[in-house]
Amino acid sequence: MNADAFRHFYDYHFSENRSIWESYVVPLPQALFTQDVRYSYGSVRNQLVHLMSVDDTWFSGLRGVDIPEPLDPAQFDDKAALRAHWDNVEQTMRAYLADLRDDMLLTKPFPAGEDENLILWQVLLHVVNHGTDHRAQVLRLLNDLGVKTGPQDYIFYVYDHP
């Protein structure tokens, strides 16, 4: 386990987020983007806002800054606004990851409280795993809306990024 391995996993995470965005969300009609569904967090928009919000929450904690309030999907009816905010979250995460060192991975990054016994590598793995889970939910929603989607398997990312 080393910092470069986690940077690699996050490159996958960011790449798949962007792939789903560009391939399926950008061309999705607005009505389908915000269409309420009774699954997980609801609409495609709501799922994406949740994913972005959770990434920001965990990395805010890791950076030792105030945890932001969960984002309200209603503030992101405009896809461009959502993409701009998501780009900022990603850049903040990338900046943290750029400074990640191997010796940090076994530290406990959080003070007393619910997360005090978490080890940094566990948090980093959780965030990527959480992203995979919610991307899968987005792909299912898109499929239900009639959009033909493709895989997000990690191994395909590895094949394309040797």
The CATH number, out of the four listed (1.20.120.450, 1.10.150.120, 1.25.40.10, 3.40.50.720), of the domain defined by the range 3-160: 1.20.120.450
| Rounded (10°) CA dihedral 78, 14, 55, 151 | 90
What's the CA gap between 145 and 127, in Å, rounded?
A: 27
What's the CA gap between 33 and 77, in Å, rounded?
A: 9
Q: How many CB atoms lie within 10 A of CB 29?
A: 9
First to last CA, the chain: 19
**162 residues of the chain, pLDDT tens digit each:** 799 999 999 999 999 999 999 999 999 999 999 999 888 888 999 999 999 999 999 999 999 999 999 999 999 989 999 999 999 999 999 999 999 999 999 999 998 889 999 999 999 999 999 999 999 999 999 999 999 999 989 999 999 998
Phi, psi of 159, rounded to the nearest 5 degrees: -60, -40
